[in-house]
Chain A
C-alpha cells in the first residue's frame, strides 16, 4: 500500500503571496488532517477534512483553507503569507468516522515552506 505523499517538498515564497500544498492520502483512508510544525516545535493541528468537508479546526486564521477531493486527496491553501508561516506542513491521513480520536494517523514527509 502506498503511504501519504506530499508535494512540493520545499518551496520559497515572499510575504503576501499565496501557496497551495498538496497531499495524497494512504490507500483506503478517508480523512485528512493538516499540521504546521514550526522550527523546534511540535506539530500544531490546522484542520481536518472528512467526506470533503472541514470538520475540525485548530487556532488558525481563515486565510488557512483547504479542500478534500472525492479521491480523498487534499490541498492546503494559505493566503497573504506572513513570515511566521515559515514551517514544515504535514499532512496525515486516517480511516474512520469524523470523531474517532483513537485512530492512528499516517503522516507524510511534509512540505517545507520558507517565506521571505
Chain B
C-alpha cells in the first residue's frame, strides 16, 4: 500500500519570499508522483508530475519539485511567491501499473501568501 505525508498543514509566507512545501511518501513498489493545487471553490489542477528521468521537475506557475528516492520525498518549491499562489496544495502518488484514476493524496498544505 502507498501513503503520502505532507509535513505542514499550513504555511504562511510573505509575497516574493521563497517557499517549500514538503511531501514524503511510502510505497513498496515504484510510484509516479504528482502535485495538484486547489483554489477556493475549484477542482484540483495539476502543477507538475514525476514519471521517470530527471529528478528535478518543472511545472506551471514557476513551481518545481525534486524527487529524492533515498529519502522518499517530493518537495515542491517556488523561488518567489505571489498573492495569487494562495491555495491548498496536494501531493499524490499512483502505483506503476495501477488504475489510472487511483491517486493517493496527502492531507494538503494551505499556502497563505501575505502582502
**Residues of A at under 8 Å CB distance from B?**
4, 31-33, 40-45, 48, 55-56, 58, 90, 92, 94, 96-105, 107-110
Contacts and interface: CB of A to CB of B under 8 A. Distances in A.
Contact of B101 (A4, A41, A56, A109): A56
Contacts, number: 86
B21 to A, nearest CB: 13
A101 B43 contact: no
A7 to B, nearest CB: 13
B99 A98 contact: yes
Contacts of A92: 43-44, 101
B96 interface: yes
A32 to B, nearest CB: 7
Chain A, interface SS category: loop
Interface of B: 4, 31-32, 34, 36, 41-46, 49, 51, 90, 92, 94-108
